[in-house]
Amino acid sequence: KDPRTPVSISLDAIRKYFQGYNMGRQLWEWYLDSLGFSPNSAIRGHIRGLFNGQRHEDLMFKVFEHLSIDGTMPVEGALTFSRGFSGSMHVLVQSKHVMPVSQIKPEEEQWMTDHWGVIFPEKCTFEDFKRMTELFMVRRTVITLADYVGLEMLRRGLKAPIVCRFKIDLPVYNGKPAQSLDI
């Protein structure tokens, strides 16, 4: 069970997803489905637009190169990514009312620590890591917006466009210099 949203996805389902049983869908799409978002929700189109571009691919590869060890992402690297993901959101014409993006909680860090090796028993490749980071980003965005407007209103769709500004702060890690990347 997700400690911060009404979602319960089994470890077995997540593991099967990464073994190729994803039916052509992204992990973040499964997450939105389990929260009751419409398949035609406008938010899905915005997310696809963000994640399908070459810029996103290049940024995620930079993060992977920074945090991975010998071509695999250890749980410590994933936690470093999650701790470094931040940003803010606001309604398009109301930039004075900023919503900071929800940060990772200790119980979420513990869940990742306890289950990373179960989800990725051999290695976490770049593609695997990219899918997990997309889920992390979508989940944090949903939690932030739900805290402000409620999950039910978010499911129905917001009347005004939301401006999102995200970044990833990567500390010195395995001898690699610190970086700050705007998403």
pLDDT, one tens digit per residue, over 4-24 is: 777 766 667 777 777 766 667
Q: How confident is the model at residue 91 (pLDDT cuts 50, 70, 90)?
A: confident
d(CA 74, CA 153): 37
Percent of the chain at pLDDT exceeding 70: 94
pLDDT at 166 over 80: yes
Tell which residue, 26, 34, 29, 28, has the closest CA to residue 9: 34
pLDDT at 179 over 80: yes
The confidence score (pLDDT) of residue 85 equals: 95
Which stretches within the chain are classed as H helix? 11-18, 27-34, 42-51, 54-67, 75-84, 106-119, 126-149, 151-156
Q: How many residues does the chain have?
A: 183
Tell which residue, 136, 127, 67, 74, has the closest CA to residue 105: 136
d(CA 25, CA 182): 26
Q: What is the arithmetic mean of pLDDT over 26-55?
A: 88
What does the mean pLDDT of the chain come to?
A: 88
d(CA 57, CA 140): 19
Neighbours of 70 (CB within 10 A): 6
pLDDT at 97 over 90: no
The confidence score (pLDDT) of residue 9 equals: 64
pLDDT at 50 over 90: no
Q: How confident is the model at residue 171 (pLDDT cuts 50, 70, 90)?
A: very high
The confidence score (pLDDT) of residue 21 equals: 67
Prediction pTM value: 0.87
Percent of the chain at pLDDT exceeding 90: 48
Report which secondary-structure segment, H or E, holds 111.
helix 106-119
Q: How confident is the model at residue 25 (pLDDT cuts 50, 70, 90)?
A: confident
